[in-house]
Every structure is written in structure tokens, then in C-alpha cells.
């Protein structure tokens, strides 16, 4: 099972040092997802480019950006995490050459994903630690039942997210998934690098 880390939605002073330490300690999958300026829900392409410039170029091969396959190609990162709905139906052929992970907040979307999609990010399984207001979570039993009914050959890589940290990881390990994605389970701690190390060892 692989550990994915999603960036903190807001920048902070030691962020790049923390991320470089995580990369040096074995992190291979980072999801770049940032809030935009002036209350925008998502950062702009130029914001992402500036953010990426603060890391060594070789790190880009371990980064999936939250956005379209076109954005991932322009930023020269490993792939993208895109809303599942945007990947259904007719899409540009160029998109199929990009390592796309579909964000599925609905299990019906999971079943409809085309075979060219590299994987699915499914959740939230539990109440996310990174939000202040309650959100609808899928629940462990529902996710387990849905994944059990879907052929592994159709979706080669399923990654779950939402409320995952070292305390809930044992429950997540019961699921037939290839990875977990963590946000609050890393960045909510005073020492994010130590939280990453602790979670990595528990995997």
C-alpha cells in the first residue's frame, strides 16, 4: 500500500523544507492542491508554477497536480488528480497519455471510469481532519462493499482519503486498496515530517 500526501491548502513558512524532507524519506506521491488568492477555491496555473519553482526539478516526477491533464502537461509534473465527471465521455486523445487519477466522491463514478484512467481517489471514507464543518463521508463498510464488486483490472489503482491517520490506518488496511492519501493526518500535527515518518512505518 502506497502513501500519498496532499499539500496543505495554504502556504506556510517551512512547507518546502518539510516536503523535501518527506521526499528524502521515501515519499513518492504528492498531490499539489492549493487554495487560490482572493478566496478562489483553486490556485491558478501561474501560482502552481511559482510553487513548483521552489522545489528541485527532479521532484516534479513525484507530483500530481489537482486539475486537468492539460495543466499537468504544461507544469511538467507526473500526472493530475481530476474530478471524475470531467473524465467521463468524450475527452481529448492527449488526455489519455497523461497519468490521470479520478477524484470520486461518489461510488457510482468509480464504476463508470474509463479504462485509460490510471487510478481513482475515493472518499472521504471518514470525516476529514482538514475541514471544520461536517461533510458527508462514505463510510468504511460502503467503500469496502463497492470495491469488492468492482474488478481490479478495470481500476488498477484505488487510493482512499478522508480522516486517515496513524489511528485509523488499521481499519483502512482491511480495504482492497493500493494506497491512502493524507492531508490533515500530516499537516494538522506540529511536526508534519514526524507524522509522515510515523504513518509511513505503519503502512
CATH code of residue 64 = 3.20.20.70
Tens-place pLDDT, residues 124-174: 999 887 776 778 899 999 999 888 887 665 677 999 999 999 899 999 999
Q: What is the predicted pLDDT for the residue at 177?
A: 93
Q: What is the predicted pLDDT for the residue at 38?
A: 81
Cell of 126: 471518514
Q: What is the predicted pLDDT for the residue at 150?
A: 77
Tens-place pLDDT, residues 85-117: 999 999 999 999 999 999 999 888 998 999 999
Q: What is the predicted pLDDT for the residue at 152?
A: 60
| Domain interval for residue 123 | 2-202
Tens-place pLDDT, residues 21-54: 999 999 999 999 999 888 788 999 999 999 999 9
Q: What is the predicted pLDDT for the residue at 48?
A: 97
- Mean per-residue pLDDT of the chain: 93
Percent of the chain with pLDDT over 90: 79
Q: What is the predicted pLDDT for the residue at 156?
A: 72
The answer to whether 52 and 60 are in contact (CB under 8 A) is yes
Sole residue written with cell 497536480: 65
How many domains does the chain contain in total?
1
Q: What is the predicted pLDDT for the residue at 190?
A: 94
The span from the CA of 193 to the CA of 142, in Å, is 32
What value does the mean pLDDT take over residues 5-14?
Answer: 94
Q: What is the predicted pLDDT for the residue at 155?
A: 72
Q: What is the predicted pLDDT for the residue at 132?
A: 67
Q: What is the predicted pLDDT for the residue at 128?
A: 87
Percent of the chain with pLDDT over 70: 97
Amino acid at each position: 500500500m502506497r502513501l500519498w500526501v496532499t499539500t496543505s491548502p495554504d502556504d506556510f513558512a517551512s512547507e518546502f523544507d518539510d516536503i523535501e524532507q518527506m521526499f528524502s524519506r521515501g515519499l513518492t506521491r504528492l498531490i499539489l492542491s492549493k487554495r487560490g488568492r482572493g478566496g478562489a477555491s483553486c490556485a491558478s496555473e501561474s501560482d502552481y508554477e511559482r510553487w513548483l519553482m521552489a522545489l528541485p526539478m527532479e521532484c516534479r516526477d513525484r507530483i500530481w497536480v489537482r486539475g486537468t491533464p492539460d495543466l499537468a502537461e504544461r507544469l511538467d509534473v507526473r500526472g493530475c488528480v481530476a474530478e471524475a465527471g470531467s473524465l467521463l465521455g468524450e475527452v481529448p486523445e492527449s488526455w489519455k497519455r497523461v497519468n490521470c487519477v479520478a477524484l470520486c466522491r461518489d461510488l457510482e463514478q468509480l464504476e463508470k471510469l474509463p479504462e485509460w484512467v490510471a487510478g481513482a481517489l475515493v472518499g472521504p471514507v471518514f470525516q476529514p481532519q482538514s475541514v471544520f464543518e461536517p461533510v458527508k463521508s462514505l463510510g468504511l463498510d460502503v467503500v469496502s462493499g463497492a470495491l469488492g464488486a468492482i474488478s481490479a483490472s478495470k481500476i488498477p489503482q484505488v487510493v482512499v482519503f478522508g480522516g486517515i491517520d496513524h489511528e485509523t490506518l488499521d481499519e483502512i488496511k482491511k480495504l482492497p486498496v493500493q494506497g491512502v492519501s493524507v492531508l490533515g493526518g500530516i499537516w494538522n500535527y506540529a511536526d508534519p515530517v514526524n507524522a509522515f515518518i510515523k504513518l509511513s512505518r505503519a503502512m
